[in-house]
Structure 1
Amino acid sequence: MDVLDLARTQFAVTGSLHFLFVVLTLGLAPLIAITHTRHAVTGRPEHERATRFWGQIYVTNYALGIFTGLVMEFQFGLSWSGLSEYAGDVFGAPLAIETLGAFFLESTFLGLWIFGWNRLNRWVHLACIWMVTLTAYASAFWIMAANSFLQNPAGAVERGGRLVLTDFGALLGNPALVNSLPHVVGAGLWAAGFLVMGASAYQLFRRTTEREFFTSSLRTGLLVAFAGSLVTVGFGYAQFGTLALYQPDKFGSPLAGTALGIMIIVGQLVQLLLLLLAPLAYWLPRWRWAQPFLMILTPLPFLLAICGWLAREVGRQPWLINGRLTVADAMSPGLTSGMVTVSLVGFTGVLGLLALADYLLIARAVRRGPTAVALGAEDEPAPAVREPALSH
């Protein structure tokens, strides 16, 4: 491959791996916030245990996802300085707001929530996890606003060889953003629901002593996945109307069309399956034969998320900013195939290890169950120190 294809491959690999973390974070956050609300209102211990168990998985995924996000930041300066030079004043604005106004707040409130167990007032503690959820979705909004600008550069004009933002409202009301954001939100709920459902099926299949806990979780995961599938598919199809306005030939290439086809065919089949299973939510945890099948289904929403990302990004090639800046012109000058190959191998290795670590840590937490959760555990009292007797 030449240097351009290597750089594109590098961004595709790092972007795809990072998105796996993001989609799970977006899906788990509201589930944990709702479960914590039920605990705060009712005081029932089963809701607290569920909050702490699934919350620990959320924190694990979030922490490792931060590192993959840092690699994504390196991408722009390393390989795509032409993008920053030509459109940094516009493209960089929503990214800066996301980092300073959403991500920092999200991290702050998450820290308060993690270390606030048994320390903060219960309503203040509850407010923290809701702020985590709201700021997570605010982050998604600003990231999708930046990405939608690449799809359809609304609200900007070219002056002096650079793009200048002239209409902030047009940037936020971009047709490429309106339906794609709910589509991503639904995909997150779909993925989180399948994770909860698959993990619960695993524990039930191995005849766990926490049967009541994972029976409730499996039902919740199934219903959340079904709701997420409705949102994802509905807003997915809704995008076709607006795509005709700014990218009428989006799915003409082999790769973009293939990714779209997989997403539509597999997504519809899985949604049909969920439609059949949802009315059986009460009985499904009792059917041992169904539990391995539910475990096998767990990766499907993540596969569909990657296909959706590929269809969205590849479909506007050869443009990086549709109709304004080509991918070739956006590349950093002076890059060689050897340089990009080294960074590709390095980034792929680092992100691959992070993804593997995330999987292993989540699998370990699921295998150990809610009795071995560190999040929210009360501090062990310090051992008493016996004063030596004074000699007379």
Structure 2
Amino acid sequence: MDVLELARTQFAVTGSLHFLFVVLTLGLAPIVALMHTRHVISGSALHGGMTRFWGQVYVINYALGIVTGLVMEFQFGLSWSGLSDYAGDVFGAPLAMETLVAFFLESTFLGLWIFGWGRLPKWLHLACIWLVTLTAYASAFFIMVANSFLQNPAGSVVRNGRLELVDFGALLTNKTLVFSFPHVIGAGLLTGGLVLAGASAYRLRRRTQDTLFFGKSLRTGVGVAALGAFLAMGFGYAQFGGIQEGKFDGGGGGAVPLGLMIEIGQLLAFVLLFLILPIIYWLPRWRWTHPVLMIMTPLPFVLAILGWMAREIGRQPWMVWHKLTVADALTPGLTSGMVTASLIGFATVLGLLAVVDYVLIARVIRRGPYGLDLGASPAGAEPAPALSH
């Protein structure tokens, strides 16, 4: 491959692996916040245990996802300085907002929530996890603002050979953003919900003693996943009205992942909404459904990558639609050896982080809601109470 193809491959690999962490974060954050809310309102030990258990899964994924985001930032400066030179005044503004929100506000509130168990007033502690959720979604919003600008450079004009921002409101109301952001929210809820459902089905199939704990978690996961599937499908189809002419024609290859995404997504949504959701009450006891839910668990991750690929590949050969080509956005002077070395390095780091994320989360799920570190008393971790009938 030439330098341009290597750089595109590098971005595809790092972007796909990073998005795996992001989509799970967006799904788990509101679920944990809702569990914590029920715990604070009712005082239920069961919901307290669910908050701590699934919160620990969330914290693991968030911590490792932050590192993958840093790799994404490195690659922009390394391979795509032409984009910064031409459109940095516009493209950089939402990315800067995302950095402020994600690396400062979101991390601060998450730290307060992690270390605030038993130290902060319960309502203030609850507010922290809701602020984590809101800032996570704000972070995703600004990322989608930046990406939507690449799809449709609204609110900008060309001056002195560079794009300049003239209407910030147009940037925030970009026609490619209005439906794509809710679509991402739906994808996140679908992913988080099915992770809950699949992991709970795994625990229930092992006939563990915590049947009430994972029975409620399974129902919660299926309900959230069904909502996510509905949102993702609805706003996904709504985006077709704003697709630029020719985006999925020609040799870009964007139509291939878009066909696959639609077909898998339709099948998954049909199974969730019309086969699984109507029997949600009996799911914890009907063991034949548990392998089905476990098999469905990885599908939202596959859909997320296919959707991202369709959105990015369909824009080729443009980095900024009809303004800047991908070739012109490439950093001058790059050699195949340089990009190959960085590709191997980035892919290795992100791949290891993905494996570590899976191993750590799987270890927590196999161990169950016992000996949790999150919310443990100073004397040591204790099991979550009220786990079984």
TM range (shorter): over 0.9
Q: In the TM superposition, what is the alpha-carbon distance from 1:255 to its structure 2 partner?
A: 2.8
SS at match of 1:286: coil
Q: In the TM superposition, what is the alpha-carbon distance from 1:344 to its structure 2 partner?
A: 0.4
Q: In the TM superposition, what is the alpha-carbon distance from 1:251 to its structure 2 partner?
A: 1.4
Give the match for residue 98 of structure 1.
98
Give the match for residue 292 of structure 2.
293
Give the match for residue 200 of structure 1.
200
1:128 and 1:380 map into 2 onto residues whose CA distance is: 24
Q: In the TM superposition, what is the alpha-carbon distance from 1:249 to its structure 2 partner?
A: 1.2
CA-to-aligned-CA distance 1:16-73 (integer Å, 9 cap, x gap): 0000000000010000111100011111100100000000000000000001000000
Give the match for residue 308 of structure 2.
309
Q: Which moved more, 1:59-68 or 1:290-299?
A: 290-299
- Residue type of the partner of 2:18? H
Q: In the TM superposition, what is the alpha-carbon distance from 1:292 to its structure 2 partner?
A: 1.5
Q: Which moved more, 1:86-95 or 1:288-297?
A: 288-297
1:104 and 1:314 map into 2 onto residues whose CA distance is: 32
2:57 and 2:191 map into 1 onto residues whose CA distance is: 14
Matched, 1:26 2:26: yes
Give the match for residue 352 of structure 1.
351
Give the match for residue 76 of structure 1.
76
Q: In the TM superposition, what is the alpha-carbon distance from 1:198 to its structure 2 partner?
A: 0.4
Q: In the TM superposition, what is the alpha-carbon distance from 1:103 to its structure 2 partner?
A: 3.6
Counterparts of 1:199-348 in structure 2 under 5 Å?
199-243=199-243, 247-252=244-249, 253=251, 255-275=253-273, 276-348=275-347
CA contact (8 A) 2:21 2:61 kept: yes
Q: In the TM superposition, what is the alpha-carbon distance from 1:102 to its structure 2 partner?
A: 4.5
Q: In the TM superposition, what is the alpha-carbon distance from 1:368 to its structure 2 partner?
A: 0.5
1:196 and 1:250 map into 2 onto residues whose CA distance is: 36
Give the match for residue 63 of structure 2.
63
1:255 and 1:293 map into 2 onto residues whose CA distance is: 32
CA-to-aligned-CA distance 1:309-366 (integer Å, 9 cap, x gap): 0000000100000000000000001100011001000100000000000000000000
Unaligned runs of 5+ in 2: 381-389
1:103 and 1:351 map into 2 onto residues whose CA distance is: 19
1:101 and 1:79 map into 2 onto residues whose CA distance is: 25
TM-score when normalising by structure 2: 0.96
Q: In the TM superposition, what is the alpha-carbon distance from 1:289 to its structure 2 partner?
A: 1.9
CA contact (8 A) 2:252 2:316 kept: no
CA contact (8 A) 1:103 1:139 kept: no
CA-to-aligned-CA distance 1:236-274 (integer Å, 9 cap, x gap): 00000011xxx2111124631110111111100111101
Q: In the TM superposition, what is the alpha-carbon distance from 1:101 to its structure 2 partner?
A: 3.7
CA RMSD of superposed structures (Å): 0.9
- Residue type of the partner of 2:306? C
Runs of 4+ in 1 over 2 A off after TM superposition: none
CA-to-aligned-CA distance 1:201-258 (integer Å, 9 cap, x gap): 0001111110110011111111111110000000000000011xxx211112463111
Q: In the TM superposition, what is the alpha-carbon distance from 1:291 to its structure 2 partner?
A: 1.1
Q: In the TM superposition, what is the alpha-carbon distance from 1:145 to its structure 2 partner?
A: 0.2
- Residue type of the partner of 1:183? H
- Residue type of the partner of 1:71? V
1:85 and 1:220 map into 2 onto residues whose CA distance is: 47
CA contact (8 A) 1:103 1:136 kept: no
Between the aligned residues of both structures, percent identity stands at 69
Unaligned runs of 5+ in 1: 382-392
2:349 and 2:52 map into 1 onto residues whose CA distance is: 29
1:358 and 1:137 map into 2 onto residues whose CA distance is: 21
SS at match of 2:53: helix
1:43 and 1:193 map into 2 onto residues whose CA distance is: 24
CA contact (8 A) 2:155 2:169 kept: yes
Give the match for residue 390 of structure 1.
none
Counterparts of 1:113-132 in structure 2 under 5 Å?
113-132=113-132
SS at match of 1:157: strand
1:249 and 1:230 map into 2 onto residues whose CA distance is: 28
CA-to-aligned-CA distance 1:260-314 (integer Å, 9 cap, x gap): 1111111001111012110100111111122122111110000000000000000
- Residue type of the partner of 2:120? L
CA contact (8 A) 2:252 2:314 kept: no
